[in-house]
């Protein structure tokens, strides 16, 4: 990215010997101009990362495509269906590529995400969080009218009855999975007799169509060390799988058993009874997942970091520190660590307020000056994507497309 | 908020004795329907909080208006100008009301915020972060063409020269303040001779018009205890104010001395030389500021919490815990504490993932059931607002307006 900065210095700072228009305006695009240019075709006009506003979200297409392909290959080899979780990316363009690589559809966490995916033509939707309250139920039923293959989860008979009544009132039959709790006490009916009883009760409701079991063990996903993670998931998923088996034994139509995370995709696929994977983060990756350890070592590198924040050095008044324009509003802050600097190498980052971050320069590979562009791996991909309206898709330094994060927004 | 839930139970659950349409669809609005209704007038059709999608951002109009008025009165009494920071709310409707109550204009943290405020007709803009790099400089100059009273800050001569050249190339004169660092090493030129030299150099650049000094001591804003905060701010602002005085002594046209935060509004207004306050959070407030202590005690209650997140109880399978639909994507997570439950009382909240939070029910004032609505005070208002596209303005339970958070988005 150095040439453009040098070009700036040439045409900008040394203006005493430069022609009248010293700001090369054609390369300082606002979002409307960039999108107009990109709409004409891929990578048109040579738009590069240097031309982008900052802070911006970058999607590395090479890494992204490799991640999509690797998970698709894994699920094919494991003979499991794949319904990746779109809560990670909230982007229908990504969902299209996941479906294009063989996924059944996508999971979603909110009715808003479901509506956005449906509007973009994505089917096979599984809403993995309970739809409770008038607003969510009403919208879910309307979605079901348009997309009859939509599936929801239930963990309580009161909610099941509400969904049943709403479905019957609208003349639809809503597909549901029983959400069984792997003892995380977040959502889900406890496994065992309570889960089986709920499934039986749901199966009797004529507005609902029982399809299977949803069992997501979030607590396993980030257990460090492959062996430790495997043991954790086996322990906590066992009661869920036993509940599913008990339902099958009773003749209930629970053909779907959905679960697994990016951390357990190659662990849970060996669990007896699983039929599909709802992995999410693998397409983008983040600092958090990199640190859980893989089969081969301390770094979990089955998938490549594909999501970066692009920032600009906006203050440099000290030898050992510089300030960039990306802070608490540019990164997810829910972990006890921040982003990692991918480029240039040798820099460490620390939050310095809502719009600012500090770069520690002691080990920098080169001198850092005003206007330098910095790329950082996001700490936690799901909430990080949620901060942005669009991602710039790059191959090397070239911007090829802009994808809207069309399922974000709390509405 | 109980009547609506009871109404739901009546028309929903007890459908065996209810008429055919059991979901009262007219009250389960999506955002388009709500906005269409509200566009017709204030509080039309009796839309209440119960009708809103969740998680949603609520603005309590009574508290908000009291906060705007209290700060306006303070600055009038202190004979200081007020230019509130719009980075807090990113909402031009709020900015309009601040200006309506006497503010000169608003501060902004990004060129994107400046563009949005200008588009909404707000003048008197002060961009408090350095504009470095082609994209920001180009957009700042274009803004200056439309709004010649726009002001920017500089902390480095290289950047000042770039701004100067860009301004001259476009035939505008850009108003600038010297950003002087109260030793936080985030942005700003160090106080003293470096600051004065930069001011002198900027004053010689014909494309720029030197207007004053910007000195923001973020480190003071959240010091706990009024006396401790006062001592902290006095210590760290002293070198900034001395630099400003030295510039004045040299005859430099630095008539503006801008600074202060919500935590120091009634501290820094006593500092000799201050001319205007750039307070931000006071309009909305949050858990963070409530805890810094006020003149009167441990709770800082000069301003009222006006911003809440509305959530729905979506899972209730245990006696001691319930799950709501607001998690890491619904709240700022940059502090080491989460939101506080405002209504109903006696509940405590803990994060349970991207879309979920847990309510501990031990001390609840009443039984919590599926579908209950919960209101939570946000942990840190600025990044919390940044997560949402709109805020619902309520008076009591009634929704009166929907305001777009039109300056959010990283573009």
One domain for residues B388 and B257 = no
Domain for residue A297, yes or no?
no
Among the partner-chain residues A21, A27, A411, the one whose CB lies closest to the CB of B31 is A411
**How is residue B13 annotated by DSSP?**
I
One domain for residues A81 and A127 = yes
Residues of chain A where predicted confidence (pLDDT) is lower than 70: 1-45, 410-411
Q: Looking at beta carbons, which residues of chain A come within 8 Å of B313? A: 132
One domain for residues A197 and A336 = no
Give the pLDDT score at A9. Answer: 34
Domain for residue B297, yes or no?
no
Q: What residues form DSSP beta bridges with A349? A: A359
Spatial distance between the Cα atoms of A374 and A49, rounded to a whole number of angstroms = 10
Cβ contact (<8 Å) for B315 and A186? yes
Read off the pLDDT of residues A10-56 as tens digits, 9 standing for 90 and up: 333 333 333 333 334 445 555 666 666 666 555 556 788 988 999 99
Pairing between β-strand B107-108 and β-strand B357-360 as defined by DSSP bridges:
unpaired
Cβ contact (<8 Å) for A51 and B135? yes
Q: Which domain holds residue B42?
A: 2-60+302-404
**How is residue B148 annotated by DSSP?**
T
Q: How confident is the model at residue B98 (pLDDT cuts 50, 70, 90)?
A: very high
Domain for residue A80, yes or no?
yes
Nearest CA to A212 among A176, A187, A164, A236? A176
Work out the end-to-end distance of chain B between its first and last CA atoms, rounded to an integer number of angstroms: 38
CA distance B31 to chain A (A): 6
The residue in chain B having the minimum alpha-carbon distance to the alpha carbon of residue A31 is: B411
Centroid of chain to Cα B317: 37
Q: Give the count of Cβ contacts less than 8 A between chain A and B.
A: 264
Spatial distance between the Cα atoms of B66 and B185, rounded to a whole number of angstroms = 35
One domain for residues B151 and B127 = yes
CA angle, B396 then B397 then B401, to 5°: 90
Give the pLDDT score at A21. Answer: 31
One domain for residues A55 and A71 = no
Domain for residue B409, yes or no?
no
Cβ contact (<8 Å) for A53 and B136? yes
Cβ contact (<8 Å) for A53 and B410? yes
Q: Identify the residue among B19, B353, B406 best suited for mutation to test binding to A, counting A beta carbons within 10 A and taking the highest.
A: B353
Six-digit token pair at B171?
A: 């035939």
One domain for residues A142 and A268 = yes
Q: How many alpha carbons lie under 13 Å from residue A84 in its C-beta half-sphere? A: 32
Domain for residue A411, yes or no?
no
Cβ contact (<8 Å) for B139 and A51? no
One domain for residues B343 and B326 = yes
Give the pLDDT score at B29. Answer: 59
One domain for residues B49 and B98 = no
Domain for residue B140, yes or no?
yes
**Three-state SS letters, A8-19:** HHHHHHCHHHCC
Q: Identify the residue among A134, A311, A334 best suited for mutation to test binding to B, counting B beta carbons within 10 A and taking the highest.
A: A134
Number of other CB atoms surrounding residue B143 within 10 Å: 23
Interval B289-307 mean pLDDT? 95
Q: What is the CATH number of the domain that holds B341?
A: 2.40.37.20
Cβ contact (<8 Å) for B314 and A133? yes
SS3 A377: strand
Give the pLDDT score at B13. Answer: 34
Spatial distance between the Cα atoms of A268 and A235, rounded to a whole number of angstroms = 11
Domain for residue A410, yes or no?
no
CB of A132 within 8 Å of any CB in chain B?
yes
Give the pLDDT score at B47. Answer: 86
Nearest CA to A332 among A1, A6, A88? A88
Spatial distance between the Cα atoms of B59 and B387, rounded to a whole number of angstroms = 14
One domain for residues B261 and B134 = yes
Which of B257, B290, B323 is the endpoint of a domain? Answer: B290
Give the pLDDT score at B287. Answer: 96
Interval B227-252 mean pLDDT? 98
Cβ contact (<8 Å) for A386 and B387? yes
Six-digit token pair at A108?
A: 């979603």
Spatial distance between the Cα atoms of A23 and A28, rounded to a whole number of angstroms = 8
Read off the pLDDT of residues B27-74 as tens digits, 9 standing for 90 and up: 555 666 666 666 655 555 678 898 899 999 999 999 999 999 999 999
One domain for residues A18 and A68 = no
Q: Looking at beta carbons, which residues of chain A come within 8 Å of B23? A: 134, 137-138, 141, 165-166, 169-170
Which of A233, A254, A285 is the endpoint of a domain? Answer: A285
Cβ contact (<8 Å) for A317 and B156? yes
One domain for residues B76 and B161 = yes
* B269: alpha, beta or left? (left if phi > 0; alpha if psi -120 to 50): alpha
Spatial distance between the Cα atoms of A61 and A66, rounded to a whole number of angstroms = 8
Cβ contact (<8 Å) for B135 and A30? yes
CB of A21 within 8 Å of any CB in chain B?
yes
One domain for residues B135 and B44 = no
Count of domains observed in chain B = 2
Read off the pLDDT of residues B178-224 as tens digits, 9 standing for 90 and up: 999 998 899 999 999 999 999 999 999 999 999 999 999 999 999 99
* pLDDT of B339 above 90: yes
Domain for residue B295, yes or no?
no
CB of B376 within 8 Å of any CB in chain A?
no
Work out the end-to-end distance of chain A between its first and last CA atoms, rounded to an integer number of angstroms: 38
Cβ contact (<8 Å) for B12 and A162? yes
Which of B267, B290, B313 is the endpoint of a domain? Answer: B290
Give the pLDDT score at A44. Answer: 53
Cβ contact (<8 Å) for A133 and B54? yes
Read off the pLDDT of residues B160-182 as tens digits, 9 standing for 90 and up: 999 999 999 999 999 999 999 99
CA distance B354 to chain A (A): 7
Q: What is the CATH number of the domain that holds A190?
A: 3.20.20.10
């Amino acid at each position: 990215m150095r040439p453009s900065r040098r070009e700036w210095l040439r045409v900008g700072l040394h203006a005493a010997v430069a022609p009248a228009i010293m700001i090369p305006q054609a390369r300082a695009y606002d979002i409307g101009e960039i999108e107009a240019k990109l709409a004409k075709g891929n990578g048109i006009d040579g738009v590069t990362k240097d031309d982008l506003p900052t802070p911006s979200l970058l999607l590395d297409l090479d890494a992204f495509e490799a991640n999509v392909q690797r998970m698709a290959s894994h699920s094919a080899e494991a003979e499991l269906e794949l319904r990746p979780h779109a809560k990670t990316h909230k982007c229908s363009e990504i969902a299209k590529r996941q479906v294009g690589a063989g996924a059944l559809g996508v999971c979603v966490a909110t009715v808003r995400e479901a509506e956005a995916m449906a509007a973009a033509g994505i089917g096979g939707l599984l809403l993995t969080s309970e739809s409770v309250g008038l607003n969510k139920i009403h919208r879910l039923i309307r979605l079901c009218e348009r997309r009859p293959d939509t599936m929801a989860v239930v963990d309580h008979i009161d909610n099941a009855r509400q969904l049943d009544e709403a479905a019957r009132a609208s003349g639809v039959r809503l597909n549901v999975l029983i959400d069984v709790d792997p003892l995380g006490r977040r959502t889900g009916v406890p496994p065992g007799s309570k889960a089986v009883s709920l499934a039986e009760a749901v199966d009797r409701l004529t507005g609902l169509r029982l399809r299977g079991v949803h069992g997501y063990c979030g607590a396993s996903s980030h257990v460090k060390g492959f062996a430790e993670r495997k043991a954790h998931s086996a322990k906590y998923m066992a009661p869920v799988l036993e509940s599913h088996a008990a339902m099958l034994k009773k003749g209930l139509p629970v053909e779907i058993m959905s679960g697994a995370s990016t951390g357990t995709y190659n662990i849970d696929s060996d669990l007896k009874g699983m039929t599909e994977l709802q992995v999410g983060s693998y397409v983008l990756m983040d600092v958090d997942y990199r640190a859980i350890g893989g089969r081969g070592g301390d770094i979990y590198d089955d998938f490549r970091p594909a999501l970066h924040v692009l920032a600009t050095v906006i203050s440099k008044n000290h030898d050992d520190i510089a300030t960039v324009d990306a802070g608490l509003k540019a990164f997810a802050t829910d972990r006890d660590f921040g982003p990692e600097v991918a480029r240039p190498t040798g820099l460490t980052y620390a939050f310095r307020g809502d719009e600012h971050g500090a770069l520690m320069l002691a080990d920098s590979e080169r001198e850092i000056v005003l206007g330098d562009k910095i790329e950082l791996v996001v700490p936690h991909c799901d909430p990080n994507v949620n901060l942005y309206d669009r991602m710039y898709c790059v191959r090397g330094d070239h911007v090829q497309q802009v994808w809207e994060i069309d399922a974000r927004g709390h509405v």
